[in-house]
Chains A and B, each alone.
Chain A
Amino acid sequence: MTSLSLIVALILLLTIALGLIRVLRGPTPTDRMLAAQLFGTTAVAILLLLGFATHSPVMTDVALVFALLTAVAAVTFVRRAEVDPMAPEQDVDDVPD
């Protein structure tokens, strides 16, 4: 059981590594942020599994905080990028396709 959850956690870490490709490729900021959002959820799952595997219930707290914070970060992103008088330059190489 514990080794199974460890191995699954490892595979989830690998999917994060794969998902990084989307962050690298973009093309829009939203795509990158979306990938980060997925990392958040995956990290929550990894935390829960690791916590179970190593018998440390603390990790559930950390996972809870993670879940809360990814939500706040995503909201920051959505609200921030909506209106921003000085933003244009940043999107120069971010035009989709």
Chain B
Amino acid sequence: MMSLIDLFSGALILASLPFFVAGTLGLLRFPDLYCRLHALTKADNLGLGLVVLALMLQAQSWLQVLRLLLIWLLVLIAGATVAHLIARKALAAGHRPWRRP
């Protein structure tokens, strides 16, 4: 017996899957660091966001909702900053971004 909320969060969880898969594939297939960075941060943060959203619907208490939100925000901010730092470092080290040949 599935309620509407269950259905909705189930759909959200399923929807998160393509993002993770895309992130991994991007990590594997993209030609250079900058592209991978790009694929990664977008995909996994959105994927995690959907999972968090789905579980927030299922949460028993406001505390749980808050914790979930905190996790997502943390990953989002940390991911963005670290991506920025990594790209900066790579540029400084003289790695040229890939261009279509």
Chain A contact residues, CB within 8 Å of chain B: 1, 4-5, 8, 11-12, 15, 18-19, 21-22, 28, 30-31, 33-35, 37-38, 41-42, 44-45, 48-49, 52, 57, 60-61, 63-64, 67-68, 70-71, 74-75, 78, 81-82, 96
Q: Are B27 and A19 in contact (CB under 8 A)?
A: yes
B residues adjacent to A (C-beta < 8 A)? 2, 6, 9-10, 13-14, 16-17, 20-21, 23-24, 27-28, 32-33, 36-37, 40, 44-45, 47-48, 51-52, 55, 58, 60, 64, 67-68, 70-71, 74-75, 78-79, 81-82, 85-86, 89-90, 95
Secondary structure call for the B interface: helix
Q: Could you tell me the distance between the alpha carbons of A75 and B85 in the complex, rounded to whole angstroms?
A: 8
